[in-house]
Amino acid sequence: MLTPACSLYFTHSRGAAAMRSQNDIRQDITNSIIESLSNGSLPPWRKPWSDDPNSPGLHTSLSTGAVYRGINQLILQCSAAKQNFQSKWWGTFKQIQFNGASVRKGQKATKIVLWKPIKRSRIDENGKETDDSFMVMREFSVFNAEQTTGLDQFRVGHTKPNLDSEIRYQHADEVIEATGATINYGGNRAFYRRSDDTITMPFRHQFESPESFYETLLHELVHWGVTRSDFERKQTKETYAFEELVAELGASFLMGAFSISTTATTENSASYLKQWLSAMANDSTYIFKASALSSKVVDQHILSFSRDAEDAPEARNQPVLARSKSY
């Protein structure tokens, strides 16, 4: 059970107040995660998943059918846990209303963020006008399907859950195999070694459950994926702890994508937690950087090897509500 740490960020109601600064947005999100860790509760990305197709899993947009990425995934996990939402589906007020449903009176929105490109002209060092652009973070409001009327098909229990665990785990195995990562089995340690680009794992039967096996392997696979990203890790305690956070987030995102339950305990040592807390307290962009890199590694350097045509971005981004038979 998460603590009230998550309450700092999603108490804004629809139509609330003026636009806030980039630093204010980042700081609110960072503070909520810091408090959650400081209170000794499990991190918001460390939670069990349900087999029901409408339950997390990963929190998903009703308007596009795509899972939320990076910091937004963490915000929505935190919000759902705090308010005991079981559905993974979220939509904006207008999108819900446009499709014949409605947000129940008195419901409060969860604020997530969107990066928008801003274009402008400037005068360069030679006195010539040149195009310039930059990204600005903006907040927008979403509501969970459980806060609405008319979206029963997106609630837990509407469809029959898939209880065939072999199918779920087969999917994970197929994705892992498709990466081509070298995985050596044997011994009592799990680690990724950069020097020869290999993952070492204990045998499956050594783990107390299939879930703990996949959780451990996916953590190491994210380390493998990080080396294929543009992240340059220098050999320091701080960067090592940062990459461990990236691996924890990435493994949890993958467990959610495969609908495999995460284990009840975490392998994070107290020293890691202390370094994460310290880093977040001193840098409000820290958790953003970690979650962004996690999403990038998962999407581009792990799932991409097995993604077929129907999973392509243009297919995933077809509106979910618009194609629902209920409307």
Query: Whose CA is closest to 326, among 160, 146, 96, 118?
Result: 96
Lowest mean pLDDT segment, chosen from 127-131, 232-236, 281-285: 232-236
- pLDDT at 224 (0 to 100): 96
- pLDDT at 79 (0 to 100): 86
pTM of the model: 0.65
Query: Whose CA is closest to 193, among 229, 223, 217, 169?
Result: 223
Lowest mean pLDDT segment, chosen from 144-148, 193-197, 265-269: 265-269
pLDDT tens profile 54-89: 876 789 999 888 889 888 988 888 888 788 888 999
Q: Are 247 and 315 in contact (CB under 8 A)?
A: no
Q: Which residue has the tokens 């990080």?
A: 226
Lowest mean pLDDT segment, chosen from 42-56, 66-80, 88-102: 42-56
Mean pLDDT across the stretch 179-197?
91
Q: Which residue has the tokens 């490109």?
A: 117
Query: Whose CA is closest to 41, among 79, 78, 3, 81?
Result: 3
Helical packing angle, 210-226 and 286-301, nearest 10°: 100
Check pLDDT > 50 for residue 167: no
Query: Whose CA is closest to 141, among 292, 287, 10?
Result: 10
Mean pLDDT across the stretch 143-159?
89
